[in-house]
Amino acid sequence: MKEHFLILLLTITTGATIFIFTLTNTHQAIPVFNADDILFEHETIHGNIVITSNAYDELALSFLNRNITGMSHVGSSYATTTQDDTTFITLPANANIPFTTHAIVSSNPNLHEVIVMEPNSRIAHGAHAKKTTCELTAVFMVSSVDLTGDDVLIVGLDSNGTILVEIEIP
C-alpha cells in the first residue's frame, strides 16, 4: 500500500512540476516557415540559427532556442545592408541570445571567404561559403560572444585573396 501511495505522490509531484515549469517559461511561438522559406539552418548547443527568405526577397536571421518543450523563437533581425549581390544581417546578443551573429548572403559565385572585423575585438573572424537550399546562393556566418555588432567591417575575398566586397557598418 505504501508503494502505491509513493508512486502516486511521485506522479502528482512530477506532473505539477512540469505544469508549473511550462507556465513560467512562456516563449514566443515559433514563426511558421514554409519549407521553401528556409535558406540555411545551423544547429548549435544553444539552439538553431535560421536564415529565411520570403516571397518579397526579404532575408531574416533568426535564433530558435531549444528547451524542454521544444523550439521557441527568441529573436530575429532583417537584412539591413545590400551591396550588389551580397546582403549583410546582424543578430546581436542579448539576454536570450547567447552570441552575436553576422551573416552574409551572396549570389556571387566568385566569393570564397569573408572576414568580419570589429574595432573592439582583436580577432578577425573568417567564414567560408556554406551551401544553402538555393544552389545559386551561399551563406557566410560568423558567431561569437566576443562580437558586439557595432562598427563592423566585412571583407569578401575570392579564392586568390582579391577583395571582391567591402562593407562597412558604422
- Give residue 54's pLDDT: 75
SS3 11: helix
**Residue 143: C-alpha distances to residues 46, 74, 110, 139, 163 (Å):** 12, 16, 23, 13, 22
- Give residue 31's pLDDT: 53
- Give residue 26's pLDDT: 54
Put simply, whether the predicted model's pTM sits higher than 0.85 gets the answer no
- What is the rounded distance in angstroms from the CA atom of residue 129 to the CA atom of residue 127? 7
Q: Which cell goes with 170?
A: 558604422
- Give residue 139's pLDDT: 92
- Residue range of the domain that includes 95: 2-169
Q: HSE (CB half, 13 Å, CA atoms) of 121? A: 19
Contacts of 160 (CB under 8 A, 6+ apart): none
**Residue 38: C-alpha distances to residues 9, 41, 62, 118 (Å):** 45, 7, 11, 28
- Give residue 22's pLDDT: 67
The segments of the chain whose pLDDT lies below 50 read: 28-30, 32
Radius of gyration of the chain from Cα atoms? Answer: 21
Query: For 72-104, how does the pLDDT look when each residue is reduced to its tens digit (9 = 90+)?
Result: 788 888 886 677 788 889 899 898 899 999 899
Contacts of 30 (CB under 8 A, 6+ apart): 64, 71, 72, 73
Q: Is 149 left (phi over 0), alpha (psi -120 to 50) or beta?
A: left
How many structural domains are present in the chain?
1
- Give residue 71's pLDDT: 75
SS3 55: coil
